[in-house]
Amino acid sequence: MAKSRKVVVIGAGPAGYVCAIRLAQLGQQVTVVEKDALGGTCLNVGCIPSKAMIAAGSLMDKIGKASALGLTVEGMSLDVEKLVSWKASVVAKLTGGVGILLKNHGCEVVYGAATIVDKNTVSVTGKDGKQTIQCDDIVIATGSVPLAIPGFEFGESVWSSTEALAPKALPKRLLVIGGGYIGLELGMMYRKLGSEVTVVEATAGALPGQDRDCVKVIERSMKKMKIDFIANAFAKGYEAKKKGLEVRIEVEGKSRVIECDQILCTVGRKPFSEGLGLDKVGLSTEKPGFIPVDDQMRTKVPNIYCIGDIAGQPMLAHKGSKEGLVAAAVIAGQNERYDVRCVPAVIFTAPEMASVGMLEDEAKSKGIEVVTGQFPFAASGRAMSLMETDGFVKIVADAKTDEVLGVHMVGPEVTELVAEAALAIEMGATTEDLARTIHAHPTLPEAMMEAAEAVHRMAVHIYQKPE
């Protein structure tokens, strides 16, 4: 067995802590440095708390709609303080679990801000002073922070996602700047909890870069929920007035004012490397702050690795975790890499959206002859029984080889269904493989099987005119 290496992992988010545990499993000596809390953005102020709050919003929404089933609930009310404290308990359980896992695997955790002194030395400044750690390898996993825009510095009136996940009270009127992942997830959550919500988005539609047919379903849903979604709109500045905040926006060159009580700015996140001392080892970032890496997560300094949000798009927790596993394996002497086509994306809107692999246009632009199949949840018995029939599963396949190239879906529980699609792409499955797989009835994944059948105009539960 190769000699054990001493590795310092900087940052204990889903990239860093996963990397640390895998390094320990592979027999390396690991020190994790964390300046804040174990679990990083994902566990503390991102994925987990937002999903907990979104679950509460969805439950409230469902209860509100239950009268169609003959269930009438009277006197439903929301205790924001209790909701936030329940969310905090979920977070505490998970971050506590990360601490126990690191300890059980023999990883040392040092709290403080790390600075790279040279390629084998990291200095850590914590509340108990400064210490220096010598190591064979360094893994940078410092994540990202919310991006602010001029005129909307974060503070009491302007929330980032962090503050939006710990409200003291429900804002009556919320203005969301940015109609991307966070803006729509949190905007819809606040709407379900009872706020009036307006979203201003700079581009022509919500969720830039996602399948446009899926996005249309989300945009229709916003209309039904009475969320005012304003496209081609730039937020320019705001003023506090007696009645609340007046936000100036520019829509297609024309000025408009929107009144609200709270602003939530979700225009993206920027990679975080402040104070890391990259220059000490000849490393630098590339716009908008990513550290370039090869496909084994190595930076141009051979014993320094970089994983997670700081290593490039997409800034997703599971992509960071995968990169952590790859870096750990490579440090331990294995020849590991991952297939970027297989990184799924999940968006907890209402309905949910998820995708993996290539978009139809992307495949075409690569010169691939493409064929698609689509199956609507309106034709799914399970979706009907859940009262969630909006949306569909769309499969993009190679017309020549039948290989599944991409799967894009919007509808009930699709953030769970995408796992099957990711497996299909990872294994190089064909639509025939998916169609031949027996899917239990009555379940939502039947929509995947039928979409695969639809690629060949053979879906049983929708009528497809023969070509």
Nearest to 388 by CA among 353, 351, 415: 351
Nearer to ligand NAI, 176 or 455 (CB): 176
- Interface residue with ligand NAI among 94, 101, 110, 202 (CB under 6 A) is 202
The dihedral region occupied by 64, where left means phi > 0, alpha psi between -120 and 50, and beta the remainder, is alpha
Nearer to ligand NAI, 133 or 235 (CB): 235
3-state secondary structure of 247: strand
Return the number of other C-beta atoms located less than 10 Å from residue 278's C-beta.
Answer: 19
Return the number of other C-beta atoms located less than 10 Å from residue 148's C-beta.
Answer: 15
Q: Is 182 part of any known ligand binding site?
A: yes
Nearest to 188 by CA among 214, 213, 220: 220
Residue nearest to ligand NAI (CB): 180
The one catalytic residue among 408, 441, 456, 461: 441
Nearer to ligand NAI, 247 or 332 (CB): 247
- Interface residue with ligand NAI among 21, 114, 263, 346 (CB under 6 A) is 346
CA 130 to chain centre: 35
Measured between alpha carbons, how far apart are the two ends of the chain, in Å?
Answer: 60
Helix axes 80-104, 47-65, angle to 10 degrees: 140
3-state secondary structure of 398: strand
- Interface residue with ligand NAI among 167, 171, 179, 411 (CB under 6 A) is 179
- Interface residue with ligand NAI among 315, 395, 397, 448 (CB under 6 A) is 315
Assess contact for 446 and 380: CB atoms under 8 A: yes
Count residues near ligand NAI (CB under 6 A).
Answer: 26
Assess contact for 438 and 452: CB atoms under 8 A: no
- Interface residue with ligand NAI among 4, 123, 125, 203 (CB under 6 A) is 203
Nearer to ligand NAI, 112 or 268 (CB): 268
180 binds ligand NAI (CB under 6 A): yes
Q: Is 144 part of any known ligand binding site?
A: yes
Q: Of 64-72, 134-142, 175-183, 435-443, which part binds ligand NAI (CB under 6 A)?
A: 175-183
342 binds ligand NAI (CB under 6 A): no
Cβ-proximal residues to 110 (8 Å cutoff; 6+ apart), any chain = 31, 32, 33, 34, 124, 126, 131, 133
Q: Of 102-110, 261-269, 383-391, 424-432, which part binds ligand NAI (CB under 6 A)?
A: 261-269
Return the number of other C-beta atoms located less than 10 Å from residue 105's C-beta.
Answer: 15
Cβ-proximal residues to 92 (8 Å cutoff; 6+ apart), any chain = none
H or E element in which residue 43 lies: helix 40-45
H or E element in which residue 368 lies: none
Q: Of 22-30, 262-270, 288-296, 420-428, which part binds ligand NAI (CB under 6 A)?
A: 262-270
**Which amino acid, one-letter code, is at 325?**
L
- Interface residue with ligand NAI among 191, 269, 298, 382 (CB under 6 A) is 269
- Interface residue with ligand NAI among 316, 354, 363, 429 (CB under 6 A) is 316
Nearest to 178 by CA among 189, 186, 166: 186
Question: What is the residue-wise DSSP string for 73-103?
Answer: --S----HHHHHHHHHHHHHHHHHHHHHHHH
- Interface residue with ligand NAI among 39, 183, 376, 391 (CB under 6 A) is 183
Q: What is the dihedral of CA 134, 12, 209, 338, to 10 degrees?
A: 60
182 binds ligand NAI (CB under 6 A): yes
- Closest separation in Å from C-beta 72 to ligand NAI: 33
187 binds ligand NAI (CB under 6 A): no
Q: Is 142 part of any known ligand binding site?
A: yes
Q: Of 99-107, 114-122, 293-301, 342-350, which part binds ligand NAI (CB under 6 A)?
A: 342-350
Nearer to ligand NAI, 106 or 209 (CB): 209
Please tell me the distance from the alpha carbon of residue 373 to that of residue 58, in angstroms, as a whole number.
30
Instruction: Dig out the tokens for 391 from the structure.
Output: 């949306």
- Interface residue with ligand NAI among 86, 314, 338, 443 (CB under 6 A) is 314
Residues 62-121 interacting with ligand NAI (rule: CB under 6 A)? none
The question of whether 441 is a catalytic residue gets the answer yes
Q: Is 428 part of any known ligand binding site?
A: no
For residues 216 to 235, the per-residue mask of contacts with ligand NAI, x marking binding by CB under 6 A and - elsewhere, is: ------------------xx
- Interface residue with ligand NAI among 227, 347, 368, 418 (CB under 6 A) is 347
Residues that bind ligand NAI (CB under 6 A): 149, 177-183, 185, 200-203, 208, 234-235, 266-269, 314-316, 346-348
Which segments are annotated as binding site? 51, 142-144, 178-185, 201, 268, 309, 315-318
Which segments are annotated as binding site for NAD(+)? 178-185, 201, 268
Active site residues: 441
Which segments are annotated as binding site for FAD? 51, 142-144, 309, 315-318
